Structure 1
Amino acid sequence: MIVFHDACHSPTQSLKLAYLAQHDSLTGLPNRILLLERLSRAIGLAKRHQHQVALIYLDLDDFKPINDSLGHAVGDCLLKSVAVRLSDCIRDTDTICRQGGDEFVVLLSEIEKPQDAVRIAEKILGALAAPHQIGNHELRITASIGISLYPDHGTNDRTLLNNADTAMYQAKNSGCNTYQLFKADMNDTRDQRTHIESQLHQALKEESPFLNFQPRVDVTTGDWVSAEALVRCRNPTVGNMAPMAFLPVAETSGLIVPIGHRVLREVCHRLQAWRAEGVNIVPIAVNISAIELRDNTLPVRIAEILAETGLETHFLELEVTESSLLHNQNDTTTSTLVALSHLGIRIAIDDFGAGKASLRYLKCFPIDTVNIASCFVQDMLDKPENAIFINALINFGQNLSLRIIAKGVETQAQLEHLKLQACDGAQGFLFSRPLLAEDFSTLLRSERLRWRSGT
């Protein structure tokens, strides 16, 4: 006689299957199914006992480049490290859920006031900020956090989750590594963001992003010496989209990567085409996003573009904002910048002074050029502290053989002050507004590549 035993019906196996159905296989944290169950229970208890519940929705900033450049094994280890640190930030009665990908949700089942949730959010940001040692890699990661509260921001689980998610995107748009408490008008902002993202997808399909070029002059001679490439995007209904509207969305959605690649290709192709026509070309500065900066394949991709176009490396300069470098002090960023420098490409730090970097910080990376933030330049004649900062930066740059460019120059008086301080270059409306490619080409074709006051 043969007896069959159905192992699936054993109590042990049933418990194991139930656990697997409610927990994330990578981190061992509760998954969305268990979160919703516990959130519904917490809302019921809060309603009965008249206390508040908080949801903290957390998304890691720029996790994808780490995953893409170092591999999924390293990315998975980083996610597990994040899970451990999150667990250390909460009480036993609270719940951490891995929502999926690089998103986590923290359920604070009972709080007395909103500040309790804010305190936990700040604790989480601090815990994640310390370096994560993953094998031979020392990785730094930040997060954007959104907070929603029961009953102020919703009375059911779906609404609370959606509103915490909306607040998280607001935090990400505010510059990452921060938190936002949900507000009702954020839903309007999110709808607008979704609309802009849809427009960007369509623009990339139709190849409607285009470039403007803003010339730069030698402060001493007035010669046109270089230019900055500025990406613009055209909407068939409303016309040109404001950069401050679409660039943050491009950053948070990841669309900045294909946009950035397209800009690099177009700049190199245009420069080579102009030179083939006998035009005296000048170096062009291209902005590189934080996401691109963490991609260690960037030097290879740029080398391929240069080889494809035949353009020499000294005609290309890459600009990285001060904030991008401050938030990405890791091995990948440094090795990417070093590799680009070894190719012969000049590296510029943009908007210097707008963040919290000190002058000593300029020694940490292979920097060739420093662009002074326009907010300092525009007020330097009215605010002595701005003039002192600019003068110190110019002197420091000279000692390190760095080229210093003042951005946002709008008046002759500002230019004269920069001349007295021996600043190298300047850019701003005093010399030229951003030009369409055709108009910039006409400028390059002019017999005298020199700016003259009053022209």
Structure 2
Amino acid sequence: MALKKYMLIASCHIGDICQYNHPIDLEHAEARLREAESALQDAREWAQSTLNSIGDAVITTDLECRVTYLNRVAENLTGWMSIDALGKPLSQVLTLADGHTFLTAPNPAQRAIDENRTVGLAMDCVLIRKDGSQLNIEDSAAPIHDRAGCTKGAVIVFHDACQSPAQSLKLAHQAQHDSLTGLPNRVLLAERLSRAIGLAKRHQHQVALIYLDLDAFKPINDSLGHAVGDTLLQLVAGRLSECVRDTDTICRQGGDEFVVLLSEIEEPEDAARIAQKILSALAVPYRIDNHELHITTSIGISLYPNHGSDARTLLNNADTAMYHAKGSGSNHFQLFRADMNELREQRSQIELQLHWALKEKALFLEFQPRIDIANGYLCSTEALVRWRNPALGLLQPSTFLPVAEACGLIRPIGHWVLCEACHQLQRWREQGLEIVPIAVNMSAMELRDRSLPARITEMLSETRLDAHFLEVEVTESSLMYHQDEAVIATLVELNNLGIRIAIDDFGAGSESLKRLKCFPINTINIAPCFVHDMLESLENLNFIKALINFGQGLALRVIAKGVEAQAQLDHLILQGCDGAQGFLFSKPLSANDYQALLVAGDFRLKHSAAAPGNILSSK
């Protein structure tokens, strides 16, 4: 309707002005001509004033789609002044793009001319203004005809789509929902949480907040690309929706963090039941393109009124409980406790100090020897990272490595360990000592880095070490939970370089036998917990025997870790285990103490009543 109205203005007041062509005397003709010119000028000024006073933008073109007119609104919306735009191609002045793909969209003026009819702009059409900024517009274009009905050009009438009621509703929805998953965002969560607390206070029931974080999502996103990461988040959102009631709210808090609001529960066990349901649902493998992804989740739970009386406190406490769950191991949930705030503060301090430790090279390695059971000789050693914290003293890796994984420092720490181990081997060899292979622990998170093989190759070249002097160990639980093509591809590349691959803590995970064939493994390390229990019952002893037979049946080298008693060693010898590591032979040694062993020459295991920790000696 607006377009027809503005075309009628132009046709009534501009057209048919030059009708004074009758053969009359010259003086009268000149007077009539002056009147016609004055009337034409008045009509033009009236039409221009009218078009400039309306709320829509108007642009007209000739048959070649060159701009012939812009009103003031069109100047404001396009960023082009009329004096600069006149005569230019319409596509230059009115640059349009598809709102979804941002590819250049065809200009409707040409369609209106070619099809000789009124046409609408594409849905979600975006105007690229002269300064490069973007504006959603909507309306239509139509051909301009002369009195004879011939097409002379086109007129486009448009306006800012944000001013329309439909667009206002769309913007309101966007302001309260996550664009990737369609879930409510933190703005809408805060509103619904406050409302739920008010209703709970009035009706004397409880409210639960479940705060969850996907373990190791960042490495997946970094190694496989944001498209895979985005798809994974969308699939997670879908599974979460299947775990809760329609009256509950699922929010994407940001990144890989989600919050579930259980607006009405009777007892804490209700929230725990939902949390366990979520853990199970999200742990099922995800198939995205050619990748099978396994993720775990850390969950924290806070309750109203037990853990807070306002939305902010409940959210912070659920977040704190989630961090505590993450520190306790993957795929766990924790209910908030008051002492968790202190523990989280300690984790925050560890994180800050870890940054400092890396920068100031405050980390160091210790080395624990491994024995070849068949001949009693030292066969390899494991490099173990240590950190003497200035405030907390000597920290166990189990204390600071989970923090490093959570804050993204595990890769630089792992890289430092690898470099330091290789350079230490180089220093010992340069001193004329006979070196043995060294085993370095890595997380599946590090193995997702496709640049790792190239960096290790460069490191080996720099230190002039053969690849067989390096062994990479990754825990069974980490490997099985985070199995995907990126990890497997990295392990295959490392194996092809000649680097040995070992599964650490073997037997402690799940579905090991089913997935083991996917990995290029050379060694399995039996978890210390099985070695510790092997003498307590015949069943335990048979289990150790089964693990050894299984590994050797696949032509894998089997190492028993955590050997602390001679009786344990005797049974391992009887079962034909390949190697052993533990306090019976040696505690983890500093670089200097380990060097002393190398200086001693050829080492053998003494089969005697030697005290634990002193069994290693030279011939």
For Structure 1 versus Structure 2, the TM-score category normalised by the shorter chain is: over 0.9
CA distance in 2, matches of 1:177, 1:135: 25
Shift of 1:48: 0.9
Matched, 1:89 2:243: yes
Specify the alignment match of 2:489 in structure 1: 335
Asked if the contact 2:384/2:440 (under 8 Å) is kept, the reply is yes
Aligned length: 455
The one-letter amino acid of 2:297's match is A
Specify the alignment match of 1:394 in structure 2: 548
Shift of 1:31: 1.1
* Shift in alpha-carbon separation, 1:191–1:374, aligned structure 2, 3 A: same
Matched, 1:177 2:228: no
The one-letter amino acid of 2:237's match is A
Specify the alignment match of 1:154 in structure 2: 308
Which is worse superposed, 119-128 or 314-323? 119-128
Specify the alignment match of 2:230 in structure 1: 76
Specify the alignment match of 1:430 in structure 2: 584
Specify the alignment match of 2:258 in structure 1: 104
CA distance in 2, matches of 1:380, 1:187: 40
Which is worse superposed, 295-304 or 170-179? 295-304
Specify the alignment match of 1:145 in structure 2: 299
CA distance in 1, matches of 2:516, 2:225: 30
Shift of 1:22: 1.6
Specify the alignment match of 2:414 in structure 1: 260
Matched, 1:119 2:170: no
CA distance in 2, matches of 1:397, 1:14: 65
Shift of 1:360: 5.7
CA distance in 2, matches of 1:279, 1:139: 44
Which residue of the other structure, out of 355, 367, 374, is the alignment partner of 2:509? 355
Specify the SS of the correspondent of 2:370. Answer: strand
Shift of 1:361: 5.0
* Shift in alpha-carbon separation, 1:238–1:165, aligned structure 2, 3 A: closer
Q: Which has the larger radius of gyration?
A: 2
Specify the alignment match of 1:371 in structure 2: 525
Asked if the contact 2:434/2:601 (under 8 Å) is kept, the reply is no
Specify the alignment match of 2:183 in structure 1: 29
Shift of 1:9: 4.5
CA distance in 2, matches of 1:323, 1:13: 50
Which residue of the other structure, out of 248, 273, 282, is the alignment partner of 2:436? 282
Shift of 1:357: 4.7
Identity of aligned residues (%): 69
Which residue of the other structure, out of 388, 408, 414, is the alignment partner of 1:234? 388
The one-letter amino acid of 1:175's match is G
Specify the alignment match of 2:47 in structure 1: none
Structure 1 residue ranges, 4+ long, deviating more than 6 angstroms after superposition:
none
CA distance in 2, matches of 1:148, 1:86: 18
Which is worse superposed, 108-117 or 360-369? 360-369
TM-score computed with the length of structure 2 as normaliser: 0.71
Specify the alignment match of 1:4 in structure 2: 55
Asked if the contact 1:150/1:160 (under 8 Å) is kept, the reply is yes
Asked if the contact 1:40/1:157 (under 8 Å) is kept, the reply is yes
Specify the SS of the correspondent of 1:175. Answer: coil
CA distance in 1, matches of 2:308, 2:210: 14
Specify the SS of the correspondent of 1:401. Answer: coil
Asked if the contact 2:318/2:336 (under 8 Å) is kept, the reply is yes
* Shift in alpha-carbon separation, 1:96–1:390, aligned structure 2, 3 A: same
Asked if the contact 2:476/2:512 (under 8 Å) is kept, the reply is no
Shift of 1:307: 2.5
Specify the alignment match of 2:426 in structure 1: 272
Matched, 1:165 2:307: no
CA distance in 1, matches of 2:593, 2:560: 23
Specify the alignment match of 2:455 in structure 1: 301
Specify the alignment match of 2:343 in structure 1: 189
Asked if the contact 1:294/1:332 (under 8 Å) is kept, the reply is yes
Segments of structure 1 that go 5 or more residues without pairing to the other structure are none
CA distance in 1, matches of 2:527, 2:304: 42
Asked if the contact 2:210/2:259 (under 8 Å) is kept, the reply is yes
The one-letter amino acid of 1:177's match is N
Shift of 1:238: 4.2
Specify the SS of the correspondent of 2:239. Answer: helix
Asked if the contact 2:292/2:483 (under 8 Å) is kept, the reply is no
Specify the SS of the correspondent of 2:603. Answer: coil
Asked if the contact 2:448/2:490 (under 8 Å) is kept, the reply is yes
Indicate the RMSD between aligned Cα atoms, in angstroms: 1.8
Deviations 1:309-352, CA, capped at 9 Å, x for gaps: 22111000011111112212322222222222112111111111
Q: Return the structure number with greater relative CO, CA threshold 8 A, min gap 6.
A: 1
CA distance in 1, matches of 2:537, 2:291: 44
Shift of 1:66: 0.7
* Shift in alpha-carbon separation, 1:135–1:400, aligned structure 2, 3 A: closer
Specify the SS of the correspondent of 1:435. Answer: coil
* Shift in alpha-carbon separation, 1:414–1:132, aligned structure 2, 3 A: closer
* Shift in alpha-carbon separation, 1:57–1:360, aligned structure 2, 3 A: closer
Specify the SS of the correspondent of 2:488. Answer: helix
CA distance in 1, matches of 2:526, 2:173: 56
Shift of 1:367: 1.4
CA distance in 2, matches of 1:403, 1:345: 14
Asked if the contact 1:359/1:393 (under 8 Å) is kept, the reply is no
